Amino acid sequence: MNEQLRFLGESIINNRLEIAKEVHTTRLSGIPISEEQNKQLQKIEQRILNIRAELIRIFGQALIHNNEQTTIALVKEWAEETGAFIFNLGVPLDEALKDTSFYRKFIWKAVEEFGAAIELSTSTIFKIISVVDPLLDDAIYYFSLTYVRYYEKSLYNAKSALLELTVPVVPLTSGVGVLPLIGNIDTERAAMLMEKTLEQASKLRLKYLILDVSGVLIIDTMVANQLFKVINALALIGVKTIITGIRPEVAQTIVNLGINLENITIKSNLHQAFEEIQLMK
């Protein structure tokens, strides 16, 4: 065991909070912060300091034990927790990564100050370099990986929420609902259309669903096939579907494509659809 490394590691661990405060204070200096932002910062400042101090503690421990596998596991755990925390704060990734240079600066400052009392050997200095720099790279890597994963999940949730809003089954009267489709229907939205239409039709206990496509600009073979699948699936749960609002240009496209709508109930508008439903009852 290199006693110089042990001394430095223990010194860094014992002074981790002071080093963390230096990193934190220097990091925020020169950044304009509004009064409201300052109030928000004060609420979470202690947690941020604890996060910084924990990473510095891991650096100190790495110098003492020199166990790469254990150290990487600790860094990964720290990075995953911190990445989630920083993402939820709404801090951009590029801004968060600016912390790297401050950690590097003040860890080496601590090494220099504590090492001055014991006259570090050349071999010890090279050993410190081989520990500190790769460890900081690992911290950046796992932090970024976690942040990006949360970002992608956020995008997916937002997209799913938006897609759900594009499949709004609106109840009109008891047992009757309308699904107004607007915009293009791609493969992803088509899958959502099937899932959410069946779910809402069952939840609302519908017997009839008016599928209004007046807001759909293009109905090609893929869209038509998906609508057929939805209509057939609805029939299996006892819901009769009526299509309304086929635009003239869309009707022409359907004819040109040779799409067969013979077994589908089609009406010009909602009024005609209601009349048809009254006859079916």
Number of C-alpha atoms within 13 angstroms, CB side, residue 2?
19
> Which whole number is the average pLDDT over 192-214?
88
* Phi and psi at residue 241, to the nearest 5°: -110, 140
Minimum mean pLDDT among 10-19, 162-171, 208-217, 234-243: which range?
162-171
What secondary structure does DSSP assign to 193-232, as a single string?
A: HHHHHHHHHHHTT-SEEEEEEEE-S---HHHHHHHHHHHH
C-alpha separations of 40 from 32, 122, 131, 167 in Å: 14, 46, 36, 38
Pairwise CA distance, residues 180 & 166, whole Å:
9
Which region holds residue 112: left if phi is over 0, alpha if psi is between -120 and 50, else beta?
alpha
| pLDDT tens, position by position, 71-103 | 999 999 999 999 999 998 888 899 899 999 999
* Phi and psi at residue 265, to the nearest 5°: -80, 120
Domains located in the chain, CATH noted:
3-163 (1.10.490.10), 170-280 (3.30.750.24)
Give this prediction's pTM: 0.61
Helix (H) or strand (E) holding 178: strand 176-182
| pLDDT tens, position by position, 151-190 | 888 877 666 655 555 567 888 888 999 888 877 777 777 7
* Phi and psi at residue 260, to the nearest 5°: -90, 115
Q: How many CB atoms lie within 10 A of CB 140?
A: 17
Pairwise CA distance, residues 268 & 213, whole Å:
10
pLDDT score recorded for residue 160: 61
Minimum mean pLDDT among 8-22, 126-140, 251-265: which range?
251-265
| pLDDT tens, position by position, 119-140 | 888 888 899 999 999 999 999 9
